[in-house]
Amino acid sequence: MDRIRSNSPCWCANGAKYKRCHGDRRLLQRARVAIGSVSPPRPVPDHITRPDYISTGAVGTPRTWQIQDDESLERLRHACQVAAEVLLVAGQAVAPGTTTDEIDAIAHAAYVERGAYPSDLRYHGFTKSICTSVNGVVCHGVPDDRRLQEGDIVNIDVTAFVDGMHGDTSATFAVGAIDEPTRGLVETTREATLRGIAAVAAGEPLRRIGEAIEPFARSRGFSVVRTYGGHGIGQTFHAAPHIYHHVERGDDDLFQTGMSFTVEPMLLSGGTSFTQAADGWTEHTDDAMPSAQFEHTVVVTPTGAEILTITADGRTAVGAPATGSARLPA
């Protein structure tokens, strides 16, 4: 499907032109997020097991596809449940006036209480326990002393290492009241993530995820980030294969039952170029237009995909189809 045009009726079907409704760039535009000062890394108690890259500086676990058996899947499911809980706790702290460093402290305590190591902490030199990406920060924002402002959006990305497994999930949260175009970006990204997961089918090509996400995003006027994708996950934090969220026609690899990976599209409301800040992490859109992201860790089952980053009692800040499976109504 082609990208919606500015003079077309808005996708929300309220009768207004897109450019006067959910495509109103004057409402989406906001100031570039200033990078603040970053506090020292938070300590992790000695009894909590670290991933291999903490002591060796290198990833020693296989970077190949992560295929789970019953035993390893139970451990992965637990790590993912912990990640889902930490994300919910962190999300509850989002409010105008709160700093992302304060949210990092709350998330860090939530990992530790659950016996988990924050996988981000000291991964390739990252010094915080979550990523916090505000407004036009596409991903990998570093928690700092900037106070969240009413109308901001912030993605919080959580990865928990426990029982020898990494569970990875993220969600974009509204700070107080947000305008309707920005809400459209956030909710479209959430739905795109769930549509991508619903496209998973054993024996079918991986490109089905991008085919489910990109045309949907474009029909609402958004672009999909191409530089970053999902990844295999389990014993290794970032493993093969690369999961494309855009249409990648040559991607003929097939989903296998038991394979575990992330689905984590980033959608852009403005131009598609972005630039890494001097901190070596933060990726700013060049036009400062906001972006959003959601992420689940999933495993391929004989009938589709099971979302693993959901609490034992079925809660998630990301969202899940009400049926409990990853299948959305047509």
Q: Cβ distance 158 to 107 under 8 Å? A: yes
159-189 burial by CB neighbour count: b if 16+ within 10 A, else e? bbbbbebbbbbbbbbbbeebeebbebbbbbb
Interface mask toward Zn ion for 20-39; x: CB under 5 A: -xx-----------------
Radius of gyration of the chain (CA): 19
Cβ closest to Zn ion, residue 183 vs residue 208 = 183
Region binding Zn ion by CB under 5 A among candidate stretches 10-18, 207-215, 252-260, 313-321: 10-18
Closest CB to Zn ion among 17 and 50? 17
Helices (H) and strands (E) in the chain — how many of each? 6, 15
Instruction: Considering the complex, state which of residue 141 and residue 221 has its C-beta at the smaller distance from Zn ion.
Output: 221
Q: In 10 A of CB 46, how many CB atoms?
A: 7
Number of residues binding to Zn ion, judged by CB under 5 A: 4
Q: Which of 2, 20, 21 is nearest to 12 (CA)?
A: 21
* Complete edge-to-edge strand list for the sheet that includes strand 283-285: 137-139, 283-285, 274-276
**Cα distance between residue 294 and residue 187, in whole Å:** 10
Question: In the window 65-124, what residues touch Zn ion (CB under 5 A)?
Answer: none
The interface region with Zn ion, picked from 17-25, 151-159, 191-199, 243-251 by CB under 5 A, is 17-25
- 10 contributes a contact to Zn ion by CB under 5 A: yes
Using CB under 5 A, which of 5, 6, 7, 12 touches Zn ion? 12
Tell me: does residue 239 bind Zn ion (CB under 5 A). Answer: no
CB of 138 to Zn ion, least distance (A): 24
Applying CB under 5 A, which residues contact Zn ion?
A: 10, 12, 21-22
